Amino acid sequence: MYIHSRDVLAKAVVVMAAFGHHVKEAKVTEAKINEAREHYRAAAARASLLYFIMNDLNKIHPMYQFSLKAFSVVFQKAVLKAEPDEDLKQRVSNLIDSITSSVFQYTTRGLFECDKLTYIAQLAFQILLMNTEINPADLDFLLRYPVQPGVMSPVDFLSNHSWGGVKSLCSMEEFRNLDRDIEGSAKRWKKFVESECPEKEKFPQEWKNKSSLQRLCMMRALRPDRMTYAVRDFVEEKLGSKYVIGRALDFAASFEESGPATPMCFILSPGVDPLKDVEKHGKRLGFTFDNKNLHNVSLGQGQEVIAEQALDLAARNGHWVILQKCVSRTSFPVKLVKDIELSLVTSLG
């Protein structure tokens, strides 16, 4: 009995020693993982910022609804597309660029043209705020534009409202004496303010050395009619030209992001018809009306049954179905919605 107990104790000591060794290894591994994770935190933070900016777009228009699931797909594809690099710092930079560009393209594709600059400006401002590259007080002025009331403009090239903006700006340390400089050098400032494209010109005297955002604040007061162009130039300077250059819809690229469970939805404005693009790309892939594997149904009275039959056939045989005028009626047919959902599940096997 004594010998047996001694053997058990000896084995226990060995087990405890091995356990202690594994614990030490686990701690070392955990420390390495945490260290590696910290290197990629900047990319994760950028992705998080982009998602919440995108998610807030419904405040502009209720149609702008983006799911976290869809965003995750865009994020994962962006990570795969990012240029590899042996230098970790450059690799993280490549990830940030790829994620930002991919989310930007995905989001703007679903926005009306009139809302794109608002989104792009918000994108630039929030990224710069996160990187502490701009002063929050300057951005607050630009967005809220507080105007000092009851003031009279002493110069003929600025309205009382604009002068109220200038006086409000002067309350901030970085813009102290701006009003005096405009009055004292009225001729120089008049030439700047009345130029055709002041956002392309240099500000008079030392004011040209202010930051890009600070110059934007002054432009907000002096030439509010040029703010659209000034903001566009600001975004181009901070993020790059690819964020401001207009792009036609690339149907092939959009198609690559779709799938059996991710249909393509077109929100059309008057005079726009993507049917030709669909037919052209379908023909390239072998989907045509002649081959009877491309179906086009314009929803209306009595068309729900035809649409249901087309969806059922497409789900079983891998066809394409185009449903037009989906929201032209007061309510989209509930049964048809269920059929679409069922077809998506069926097509995925």
pTM score: 0.78
CATH code assigned at 50: 1.10.8.1220
The pLDDT of residue 261 is 72
- 257 & 238 share domain: no
Alpha helices in 227-333 (DSSP H): 227-239, 251-256, 275-285, 304-317
CB 248 within 8 A of CB 109: no
**Residue 73 lies in domain:** 39-111
- 156 & 229 share domain: yes
pLDDT per residue as tens digits for the range 60-79: 999 898 889 889 989 999 99
pLDDT per residue as tens digits for the range 19-59: 666 677 777 777 777 777 888 999 999 999 999 999 999 99
Taking CA atoms, 278 is separated from 88, 112, 252, in Å, by 42, 21, 9
Domain boundary among 211, 243, 275: 243
pLDDT per residue as tens digits for the range 244-303: 987 667 788 788 878 777 788 887 777 778 888 899 999 999 999 999 999 998 887 777
Is 166 domain-assigned?
yes
Is 177 domain-assigned?
yes
Name the domain count of the chain: 3
pLDDT per residue as tens digits for the range 291-345: 999 999 888 777 778 888 888 888 888 899 998 877 655 455 566 666 666 666 6
- 234 & 262 share domain: no
Is 27 domain-assigned?
no
Query: What average pLDDT is seen over the chain?
Result: 87
